[in-house]
Structure 1
Amino acid sequence: MSEDTIKGRVADAVKGHWVDTRAPDWLRPYARLARWERPIGWWLLLWPCWWSAALAAIAGGAAYPDPWHLLLFMIGAIAMRGAGCTYNDLVDQDIDDKVARTRSRPLPSGQVTPLQAKVFLVAQALVGLAVLLQFNGFAILLGMASLAVVAVYPFMKRVTNWPQLFLGLAFSWGAFMGWAAAFGRLDWPAVALYAGGILWTIGYDTIYAHQDKEDDALVGVKSTARLFGDRTRPALVLLYGGATALFAAALVGAGGGILAFVGLAAGFMHLMRQIAVLDIDDNDQCLKLFRSNAQFGWILFAGLVADALARTLF
Structure 2
Amino acid sequence: MGQKQPDKSPREKINFVCPQCSYRFECPPARHEEDEDRPHHPFRYFADCPQCDTESPQAHWEINLFKAYANATGPKTEEGKAISAANLDGHPTPEEAQLTRFNAMKHGAYAKTAKFFPARPGKYPQCDGCEHQNEHYADDSACVRHKACLKQVEVFVRYQSAFDAKDPNLLLELQGHRQAAIQSLIDMMILTINQDGGPRIKTVEWYYDKDGSFHLAQWKDDDDKAHQIYKLEEHPLLKPLIDYINKNSMTLSDLGMTPKVQDDQDMMKGFLDHEKGDKEAAQGFQQRIEKQQDTLLSLIQDSYDEADVIDVTPSEADNG
The TM-score, its normalising length taken from structure 2, stands at 0.24
Return the index of the structure with the highest Cα Rg: 2
Q: 1 or 2, which has the higher helix percentage?
A: 1
Q: 1 or 2, which has the higher strand percentage?
A: 2
The TM-score, its normalising length taken from structure 1, stands at 0.24
